[in-house]
């Protein structure tokens, strides 16, 4: 689920139209480390990994791309991203219960077979929190997560947005992971 990157394609087309290599574009941007500059330009062109406002403004100047065109393409990329995110977040998924094992590390608890409703999953999460003295998160969907404190009290019902995912995970090598645990431990 990524942006369509209309902005990156526009910048690449304009760079090629001007006959600029990635290295030459980086030099014109003022990079003394041309490889680093070329990688930044390429990241923007290929995956839309933008950068700072300053980098974007400089690249617009080097390529002669108008601010209004850039804003229109950014708006289009954002609208398509949000539309794709809405489709993804609305897909039905099983309820998931996640327990904090230690700060920064989380494990997925298997729900008992007789737990089939959101209410039952929250009650299971509350009991799990009380017995393990750990924070628990009940992910009712990709959009809604219920947060339960160590005493078993529901403290929040959080909704995801295109820019914020409340579901807990551990980052290892920039990859989000969670450990699979057996039922209640």
Instruction: Name the 3-class secondary structure at 106.
Output: strand
Mean pLDDT, the chain, rounded, equals 91
End-to-end alpha-carbon separation of the chain, Å? Answer: 33
- Quote the CA–CA distance of 140 and 117 in Å, as a whole number: 9
Among 13-22, 65-74, 102-111, 163-172, the minimum mean pLDDT is found in 163-172
Burial group, residue 28, by CB count within 10 angstroms (0-12, 13-18, 19+): middle
Instruction: Name the 3-class secondary structure at 177.
Output: strand
DSSP string for residues in 143-166: SEEEEE-TTS-EEEEEE-BTTB--
8 A C-beta contact, residue 124 and residue 110: no
Instruction: Name the 3-class secondary structure at 73.
Output: helix
Number of H helices and E strands in the chain, helices first, is: 6, 8
- pLDDT of 182 over the 60 cut: no
Per-residue model confidence as pLDDT tens digits over 72-119? 999 999 999 999 999 999 999 999 999 998 888 888 999 999 999 999
The ranges assigned to domains in the chain are 6-90, 96-180
Q: What is the pTM of this model?
A: 0.76
Q: Please, what CATH class does the domain formed by 6-90 belong to?
A: mainly alpha
């Amino acid at each position: 689920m990524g942006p369509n990157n209309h902005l990156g394609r526009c910048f690449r087309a304009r760079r090629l139209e001007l006959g600029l290599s990635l290295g030459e574009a980086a030099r014109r941007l003022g990079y003394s480390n041309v490889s680093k500059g070329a990688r930044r330009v390429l990241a923007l062109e290929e995956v839309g990994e933008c950068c700072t406002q300053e980098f974007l403004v400089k690249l617009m100047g080097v390529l002669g791309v108008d601010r209004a065109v850039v804003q229109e393409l950014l708006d289009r990329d954002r609208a398509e991203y949000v539309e794709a995110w809405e489709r993804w977040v609305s897909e039905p998924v099983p309820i998931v219960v996640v327990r904090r094992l230690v700060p920064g590390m989380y494990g997925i608890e298997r729900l008992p077979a007789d737990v089939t409703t959101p209410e039952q999953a929250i009650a299971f999460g509350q009991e799990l929190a009380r017995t393990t003295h750990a924070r628990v998160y009940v992910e009712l969907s990709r959009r809604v997560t219920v947060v339960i404190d160590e005493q078993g009290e529901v403290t929040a019902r959080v909704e995801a947005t295109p820019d914020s995912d409340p579901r807990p995970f551990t980052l290892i090598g920039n990859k989000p992971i969670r450990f699979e645990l057996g039922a209640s431990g």
